[in-house]
Chains A and B, each alone.
Chain A
Amino acid sequence: MLHLVLFLVFGAICVAGAINLLAQTHPISSALSLVVVMASLAVEYLLLGAEFVAVVQVIVYAGAVMVLFVFVIMLLNAGEEERTKGSRVAMILGVPGVLAGGLLVAWVLLKRSETGSVTLGSLPGYPKTIGNLLFHDFLLPFEVTSILVLIAIMGAVVLASRPEAQIPPPGKES
């Protein structure tokens, strides 16, 4: 019972944050809404018993990635969004498509699936167990992702560095 109530509360916060992200015009507001979403997702993970994942979510996702986002927004001085001519395809095909796909999946899940239920905190999500798994069964992916991060760092540094000669920007479209 408690599980269900907690799930619903934090699920509502999650969805509210997601919708707020869509509704806001200034990117900074969207970024803060995303932080709210991530935080509530961390609580959801805790409800399932995945402690390690929840903590990593807060530290890495909300704490590092979102901070990076906020840094870039402020660096580029992103303002409110202007209304420009959009894409008709995105509106006519995309949004209804997504909604239709989502509704279909939801219908299948509710009506036809034979999934079971989970209890509160059922997962053994201790760091020790996850660490065991990570360094024994998933060692190769672990090492590969570390190289991936290295490449990402180098790429980011190269891409973001100021070029030698300042190329004047092309004529701005109004």
Chain B
Amino acid sequence: MTPSLHLWLIPVLPLVGAAINGFFGRRLTRQAVGAVALTFCGAAFAMVLYVAVRFASLGLPHTEFLAHWIRSGDFFVNFEFYLDQLTLVMLLVVTGVGFLIHIYSVGYMSEEGGFYRFFSYLNLFMFFMLTLVLAGNYLQMFIGWEGVGLASYLLIGFWFTKDSAASAGKKAFIVNRIGDFGFLIALFLMIKHFGSLDFGQVFAAASHLSVETVGFGLLTSIGLLLMVGAAGKSAQVPLYVWLPDAMEGPTPVSALIHAATMVTAGVYMVARSHVIFDHAPNALTVVAIVGTLTALFAATIGVAQTDIKKVLAYSTISQLGYMFMACGVAAYSAGIFHLMTHAFFKGLLFLAAGSVIHAVGGEQDMRKMGGLRQFVPVTYLTMGIATLAIAGIPPFAGFFSKDEILFRAYQANPVYWVIGLFTAFLTSFYMFRLLFMTFYGDYRGAADGHDDPHGHANHGHGSPHESPTIMLVPLMILALLSLGGGWIGIGGRFERFLGPVFASGDLSERAAEASHVLEHSLMAMSVATAGLGWYVAWLLYVKRPLLPQRIADSLGGFYEAVVHKYYIDELYATLFVKPLVEGSTSILWHGVDQGVIDAAVNDTAHGATHVSEAARHMQSGNLRSYAGWIAAGGAAVIAYMIWMGVR
């Protein structure tokens, strides 16, 4: 029996940090708050490294029981932790990238109000995310799932005095909740049919059922409902609308939660539940279709956005679509691989964007940037590396993971590959567009520090300047990871590492059979499209900067639609939000709350008043009426006594 690694420490350490900062942070100095946050997050990271070192000697999957939770008849749920290769990968990504972002935040938020609150929330988020990843059963995963939604809401609405930030936080939480509803129904189905939520028991029971190729069987339903939950959390169509609005939060939040970790929880959950999906091919197909469509859809929107963070938000949605596409063709390890590399380069992109925003004193519109590479060279360099990575140019990280996905997609169905390739072109195009608009050309912004919309302290900007070192170091580390992070996948080493997890469904056998010629030619095509995107972006934004406007004018209405995100938000507002709000107001508020509940209490009080008003008239002060009442009462009593005697 493998001795306990005390896995519970990994989530609990950030929780302690969150509690300290939350309760006492107001009285601590900024240095103290930052030190507390970094210490506990770093301690969690150190624990993960320790586990990684001991990993080879563990029997897998390694489970640790912490405490009993629910014991209801035959249904048991415990607090337990589950460790296998997939968990280890996720742990390293979450704690590693999380720790770097914590360091970055100390610098980024150094002049903001509510410093201690920010770090308390950030550590709280780490706690919930680690609970999600280390969970040994679906219910504990759901706790982490809900908790990261809560942390996301708190952090998006961090500047809660701003209406748009508060609304964005609410939107994120509500749309997440819709997905969580699907997740919950899936859990209920599992409880009903499998009698347990424990991973081991659920997967064992599922694997004994036959593969459902036709129609909507139990496993297909569970799979589709889990996908609904994943679509909410990981911002897939149609529940993606919260992610662009979530950019209202501080940039480190966008980096950590909405790029590297929380939004990947959906992918992790689908990968973890692969046993269910392998027995439900229809559900898997739906996953693939959703992922592919989302990837394309979001990329088209991202092409026309002018806010630097919005472009990155749509890029995140698109890349998550890739991950779901991978899972949808049962290439789970490829999806996880892309998850890992995406955490590196997208985290870096967001942090660098934060650095850029910080440099220009709060401006986020790319049209007012430009020519920044002489002002912020380190930021430019790291962002350039990240852009190369996301575009899929070898030997950067993104190339290996994206290529793996496209290859598997081709093997499953060439249509996926075509759409994926076109999306890769768009990805490369809009990312380089971002790079060129921001860093090349002439500086189009106001030179003085102007009214900044994001509460950045205005420290008298003259011209744009580089960020402090504490913000640059994480950028550089992430740049190195974006450069070399993909090399772990060369020769299928990463796939073999994750092999035992996905043993039942991975297509590694199929991969080995495929011809190397096919693989290499596909690889060449994807590099070519990436390069094409780069070239077109250079053409439109460096060489002939007047061209984009003319293209936009010629496309007319279609371009307008794309800029306005295909009016999806407006559509949802009319279809769902407005009827719901009005229904709530008229039926639930006026009708039930005021009409029934309040009325019941008020009417009871009024009734008591009326009764006493009526009874008051008995107190007339008139002797004769009192005597009259006594006489009548006496007669009644006599009558009753006679009646009782007579009976």
**Complex: A160 Cα to B579 Cα, angstroms:** 82
**Complex: A97 Cα to B636 Cα, angstroms:** 8
Asked if B638 contacts A89 (CB within 8 A), the reply is no
**B645 to chain A: which residues have CB within 8 Å?**
108
Tell me how many residues of B have a C-beta within 8 Å of chain A: 18
Distance (whole angstroms) from the CB of A100 to the closest CB of chain B: 5
Question: Chain B 303-325, CB within 8 Å of chain A: the 1/0 string?
Answer: 00000000000000000000000
Q: Does B1 contact A (CB under 8 A)?
A: no
Question: Chain A 88-113, CB within 8 Å of chain B: the 1/0 string?
Answer: 11111111111011001100100010
**Complex: A88 Cα to B627 Cα, angstroms:** 11
**Complex: A93 Cα to B626 Cα, angstroms:** 11
**B620 to chain A: which residues have CB within 8 Å?**
87, 89
**A169 to chain B: which residues have CB within 8 Å?**
none
Distance (whole angstroms) from the CB of B647 to the closest CB of chain A: 12
> SS class of chain B's interface: helix, strand, loop or mixed?
helix
Asked if A93 contacts B624 (CB within 8 A), the reply is no
**Chain A: which residue is nearest B639 at the CB level?**
A104
Q: Does B473 contact A (CB under 8 A)?
A: no
Q: Does B453 contact A (CB under 8 A)?
A: no
**A108 to chain B: which residues have CB within 8 Å?**
642, 645
Contact of B632 among A86, A87, A94 (CB under 8 A): A94
In the complex, which residues 602-647 of chain B have their Cβ closer than 8 Å to any Cβ of chain A? 620, 622, 624-625, 627-629, 631-636, 638-639, 642, 645-646
Asked if A104 contacts B632 (CB within 8 A), the reply is no
**A105 to chain B: which residues have CB within 8 Å?**
638, 642
Distance (whole angstroms) from the CB of B645 to the closest CB of chain A: 8
**B634 to chain A: which residues have CB within 8 Å?**
97, 101
Contact of B627 among A90, A92, A112 (CB under 8 A): A90
Contact of A97 among B624, B625, B632, B642 (CB under 8 A): B632
> SS class of chain A's interface: helix, strand, loop or mixed?
helix
Asked if A90 contacts B638 (CB within 8 A), the reply is no
Knowing A100-B639, A105-B638, A108-B642, the reply to whether A94 touches B622 (Cβ < 8 A) is: no
**Complex: A93 Cα to B627 Cα, angstroms:** 10
**Complex: A148 Cα to B632 Cα, angstroms:** 31
Knowing A104-B642, A108-B642, the reply to whether A90 touches B624 (Cβ < 8 A) is: yes
Asked if A101 contacts B628 (CB within 8 A), the reply is no
Distance (whole angstroms) from the CB of B458 to the closest CB of chain A: 80
Contact of B625 among A90, A98, A101, A112 (CB under 8 A): A90
Asked if B625 contacts A87 (CB within 8 A), the reply is yes
**Complex: A108 Cα to B642 Cα, angstroms:** 8
Knowing A104-B642, A108-B642, the reply to whether A89 touches B635 (Cβ < 8 A) is: no
Asked if B627 contacts A94 (CB within 8 A), the reply is yes
Contact of A101 among B622, B624, B638, B646 (CB under 8 A): B638
Distance (whole angstroms) from the CB of A111 to the closest CB of chain B: 10
**A104 to chain B: which residues have CB within 8 Å?**
635, 638-639, 642
Distance (whole angstroms) from the CB of A103 to the closest CB of chain B: 10
Distance (whole angstroms) from the CB of B644 to the closest CB of chain A: 12
Question: Chain B 286-316, CB within 8 Å of chain A: the 1/0 string?
Answer: 0000000000000000000000000000000
**Chain A: which residue is nearest B618 at the CB level?**
A89
Distance (whole angstroms) from the CB of A93 to the closest CB of chain B: 4
**Complex: A93 Cα to B633 Cα, angstroms:** 9
Asked if B628 contacts A93 (CB within 8 A), the reply is yes
Distance (whole angstroms) from the CB of A98 to the closest CB of chain B: 5
Contact of B624 among A87, A96, A100, A112 (CB under 8 A): A87
When A and B form their complex, which 5 residue pairs have the shortest distance between CB atoms, in order from nearest? A94-B628, A101-B635, A90-B628, A97-B632, A87-B625
Give me the interface of A with B, judged by CB distance under 8 Å.
Answer: 86-98, 100-101, 104-105, 108, 112
15 contacts across the A-B interface (CB closer than 8 A): A87-B622, A87-B628, A89-B629, A93-B628, A93-B629, A94-B627, A94-B631, A95-B631, A96-B632, A97-B628, A97-B631, A97-B633, A97-B635, A101-B638, A105-B638
Known: A89-B628, A90-B625. 8 other contacts (CB 8 A): A94-B627, A97-B635, A98-B631, A101-B635, A101-B639, A108-B642, A108-B645, A112-B646
